[in-house]
Amino acid sequence: MTLVELPKSAASPIPPSRRRGLRWLVATAVALVLLAGVAFGLAEYYYTTVPIPRDTSGTQRVRAENLRPGVANTIVAAVDPDFYQPSSEIVWPSSEITKRYAVLAMDAPWDELDSWRVRVAAHKLEGWFTKNQLLDFYLSTAHYGEGVIGLGQAASLYLGKDTRDLSIAEGALLAAHLDAVPGDLQAAWNRVLDTMVERGWLSTTERTGLVFPRTIQR
């Protein structure tokens, strides 16, 4: 008998249970791909339906570059110390300040701050404007309590000053009205300044020399 004539071994049949398992895996993979495609399509459609919020900064516009050095950072420290860093959010990333401005510009309720609609709007804003521009928008539209809107109005009503004349201590006082942690105003003022020291926006020596400002009696 030659080598060619040797009997060939029959291929082992795939067990029925294994065939069923393979079919299930293939079907599951196809279904997941289809679902992912549908989800992506819906997300893209939803994204396009949310408009970019319009500029609502009004006539009392405030620009950070026109403030004394460090004053704008008091607002950032109070609201969003990570404002200048890339967002850690995975879906439609944006900063806290941008989301807050989006809520104000869209005239949306505050409980929608982390909603998809606000996230999309904020993400679009950060694709259209620079961080400096967005900070200017927020400075001009933020609510400082008691119906006070914008840093210009807050500086005038609480301190009797123009925004250009604000010191860091006074900026921190106004920023304390935006602090997310409720409580004593002076405690919030201290948190703002401590955050600035932690971020390297204020030296420890400067921080020690600051005194809590007096406000106008209203």
- Angle at CA 72, nearest 5°, toward 101 and 170? 115
**Cα(119)–Cα(98) distance, integer angstroms:** 9
Burial zone of 17 (CB within 10 Å; 0-12 exposed, 13-18 middle, 19+ buried): exposed
pLDDT value of residue 43 = 46
pLDDT value of residue 59 = 58
DSSP letter assigned to residue 147: T
pLDDT value of residue 145 = 84
Q: Which residues, other chains included, contact 114 with Cβ-Cβ below 8 Å and sequence gap of 6+?
A: 99
pLDDT value of residue 217 = 60
* CATH class assigned to 64-208: mainly alpha
> Looking up tokens 């992506």, which residue turns up?
40
pLDDT value of residue 89 = 82
Helices (H), the chain: 16-49, 71-79, 96-106, 116-128, 131-141, 151-154, 168-176, 185-198, 204-208
pLDDT value of residue 31 = 52
pLDDT value of residue 146 = 83
pLDDT value of residue 210 = 96
Tens-of-pLDDT digits for all 218 residues of the chain?
Answer: 454 454 554 445 555 556 566 666 665 665 565 554 444 344 443 456 666 677 666 657 899 999 999 999 999 999 999 999 988 888 888 999 999 999 999 989 999 998 989 999 999 999 989 999 999 999 999 999 888 999 999 999 999 999 999 999 999 999 999 876 667 899 999 999 999 999 999 999 999 999 999 888 65
> Looking up tokens 């993400």, which residue turns up?
123
β partners of residue 143: 149
**Cα(218)–Cα(25) distance, integer angstroms:** 71
Q: Which residues, other chains included, contact 42 with Cβ-Cβ below 8 Å and sequence gap of 6+?
A: none
pLDDT value of residue 1 = 45
Return the SS3 of 67: coil
